[in-house]
Structure 1
Amino acid sequence: MNHNEPILGELESLLEFYQAAGVDACLTENPLDWFEESARQTTKRLQHGHNPPRETAEHAERPPSRQPSGSSVMPVGAAPSVQGPATGHTATIPDAAVVESARDAAAKAQNLETLCSILEEFEGCNLKLSAKNLVFADGVPNARLMLVGEAPGRDEDLQGKPFVGRSGQLLDRMLHAIGLDRTNVYIANVVPWRPPGNRTPTPQETEICKPFIKRQIELANPDMLVFLGAASAKTLLGVQDGIRKMRGRWMTYDLNGRTIPCVATYHPAYLLRSPLEKRLSWRDFLSIRSKLHKQDNEHI
């Protein structure tokens, strides 16, 4: 009798659970002593003639404290960047300086192709370290209708396109029901990299990515915006209402001084979990179709 079989069976079950939960990336294989790393980075900057901030210098003068085994919590005064676990890129502390660098980078894009290239080179968002692909957009850039979600999932990360998994297939059917498809809409996400395990992006990650999606909307220049879920609406409109209170209510988005109509509806992934809510999303999409037809009549 093989006494290892129960252990192997438990490990297989655990791996199946992680896979079903969407976990497919290991961020660190070994614990990292951030105090020691901070002191090393400070010494490196001093060797190159850079004067560190006072807090960092004082921290370097103290003997480095040891974190408990297996801990990877970053303390105050840690180094601004460390080597990424598997990609060779560096991890970045998501501070105000990184947000400002995102704004500067996004502002330089004169078209959507350039914006995509800038995002591919941007190193300020740590989600890039674990994501397989940049998920920039799908559809046609000059479409009248632009749909914005929160962040890509596993299928989107693998293919590099937004809304291509089960929720994307449902979205395609919803669009088709009102006479639209990906040849006459433009689709993007606030966050263009998949968070590990499909977790919710942190407020810092969203803030870093916000300048890019705002510039993407400016360059796409749609006549109407549809927010898929409350997260994208809250990020871009600054509202705090939940999706149940917000959905179906027409609002406006400021686009370079031009206000365009926008509406929030349930995210397709939520509808897969709560199919009874599809009737409300159907009302929202009928309202979107009516709004598009009204705009057509006004332009005649």
Structure 2
Amino acid sequence: MTKKVINQKGKFDEELINTIEPNFVFKNEPINRFNSIMSNENENQTDKTDQLNTLKKQINSIENCNLKNNSQNIVLGDGNINSPIMLIGEAPEIEEDKSGTPFKGEIGELLNKMLLAIQIKRKNIYCSYAINFRPPEDRKPTSIEIKRYSVFLKEHISIINPKIVIVMGSSAMEAVTGINTKISSERGEWKEVILKNETYPIMITFNPSYLIRFPENKKYSWEDLKRIKQKIQDLKIKI
């Protein structure tokens, strides 16, 4: 007759665990942590989308604004809201005003080429403007208009929370940094802006619409782009 061996220790351990936490479930399958990561990413994206929708409503609720009153559409942003790179232009022009999306037509084509020159596809970054409505006759926004919309722009940056901000054009430079000198004296050097206790590296460079009018300055933009590429490598950003 064979005597059955009883694992008293195993039984005791199970009883002890159950007294501490009666809902333990023992499984042989490994834990799938990937689903948890994906769930967190989806929640983060939903949260950003909700915040951007709220921001858009706030901008649309502005009263007594000539820019808003003379525009067809608000232009908030476009692209990957979870991108580590946020690009900010100056203001919509006629094609952007019609479509409600940034950097269209010839301007958009040039921007695409500039980004591809440093191995970045535009769909992988997030693009926006310092001013969300088209100025009449595509004029330069006034300092009062820039200051008014800079409040929304800074909130916009905080929502996207990028690792690098590319600022294109003097109006965008003034909106983000408060600097209103010539962009030629400020471009090409990394600066920083602090928003809600977060520090964002900023590269100021020429706007594509400016480069279309003054193509001789493309050589300076190329130098700026190379610095951006180097920063991406230094921070080990995947884009």
Report the TM range for the smaller structure's normalisation. Answer: 0.7 to 0.9
2:144 alignment partner, one of 199, 204, 218: 204
Offset, 1:124: 4.3
Contact map agreement 1:140 1:182 (CA 8 A) in 2: no
State, as a whole percentage, how many aligned pairs show the same letter.
36
Q: 2:114 aligns with which of 165, 168, 174?
A: 174
**Aligned residue for 2:20?**
none
Select 2:167's aligned residue among 183, 204, 227.
227
**Larger Cα-atom Rg:** 2
Which sections of structure 2, spanning at least 5 residues, go unmatched? 1-48
Superposition pairs for residues 93-108 of structure 1, below 5 Å?
none
Alignment of 1:142 with 2:82, yes or no, is: yes
* Aligned equivalents of 2:133, 2:106: Cα separation in 1: 18
Deviation at 1:233, TM superposition (A): 1.1
Q: Specify the alignment match of 1:156 in structure 2.
A: 96
Secondary structure of the residue that 1:183 maps to in structure 2? helix
Helix, strand or coil for the counterpart of 1:247? coil
Provide the aligned length of Structure 1 versus Structure 2: 190
Deviation per residue, 1:175-206 (Å, 9 max, x gap): 11111123211111111000111111222222
Q: Is the 8 A contact 2:80 2:124 kept in 1?
A: yes
Residue 217 of structure 2 corresponds to residue 268 of structure 1: no
The letter of the residue matching 2:171 is A
1:124-168 deviation digits (Å, cap 9, x = unpaired):
422111101111111111111111111110111011111112112
Query: For the Cα contact (< 8 Å) 1:125–1:208, is it kept in 2?
Result: no
- In structure 1, stretches of 5+ residues that fail to align are 1-108
Quick one: distance in 2 between partners of 1:182 and 1:203? Answer: 29
Which 4+ runs in 1 deviate beyond 6 A? Answer: none
1:121 matches 2:95: no
Aligned-CA RMSD value: 1.8
Deviation digits for residues 14-64 of structure 1, max 9, x if unmatched? Answer: xxxxxxxxxxxxxxxxxxxxxxxxxxxxxxxxxxxxxxxxxxxxxxxxxxx
Asked if the contact 1:149–1:227 (Cα under 8 Å) also holds between the matched residues in 2, the reply is yes
Work out the CA distance in 1 between the residues paired with 2:177 and 2:142. 18
SS of 2:122 mapped into structure 1: coil
Matching residue of 1:94: none
Could you tell me which residue of structure 2 aligns to residue 189 of structure 1? 129
* Match runs of 1:60-71 below 5 Å: none
**Residues 274 and 115 from structure 1, CA distance in 2 versus in 1: closer, same or farther, beyond 3 angstroms?**
same
TM-score by length of structure 2 reads 0.75
1:279 and 2:219 correspond:
yes
Distance 2:59 2:179 in 1: 26
Which residue among 179, 188, 193 is the counterpart of 1:239?
Answer: 179
Give the partner amino acid of 1:227: V
Match of 2:3 in 1: none
